[in-house]
Amino acid sequence: MARKKKSGPRYANGNRKVQQKAYNKTRKGLRIRVGANKLRRKLKLKVGDKRDAAHYKGSKTKGRPQSRSANRSRRNSLKIKRKN
């Protein structure tokens, strides 16, 4: 059976806007968003800064400023998932 092609506007990272807005309203989405904003304020990073607030592995409250490209790279996300 053929899948129905999804349509609609997207964010730059590929997420669908309608789906992302709904997710951000859920309890889990709200908790993630609040934690990210709190760390950003703690590190004194301004909106539009060249760096992201990167959490240390397993921590929701502690982190470090990191360049956007390093924080969002595919390689970075794979390192966390590996169990070697």
pLDDT at 47: 83
Burial class (CB in 10 A: 0-12, 13-18, 19+), 79: exposed
Q: Does 22 fall in a domain?
A: yes
Specify the higher pLDDT residue, 21 or 73: 21
Q: Does 24 fall in a domain?
A: yes
Does residue 5 carry a pLDDT above 80? no
Tell me the average pLDDT across 23-28.
91
Tell me the average pLDDT across 45-58.
85
Q: What range defines the domain where residue 23 resides? A: 17-81
Under DSSP, is residue 4 helix (H, G, I), strand (E, B) or coil? coil
Q: Which is it for the CA torsion 14, 62, 67, 83, positive or negative?
A: negative
Number of domains in the chain: 1
Task: Please say whether the beta carbons of 37 and 29 come within 8 A.
Answer: no
With pLDDT > 70 as the criterion, what percentage of the chain qualifies? 81
Q: Does 66 fall in a domain?
A: yes
Specify the higher pLDDT residue, 52 or 30: 30
Q: Does 10 fall in a domain?
A: no
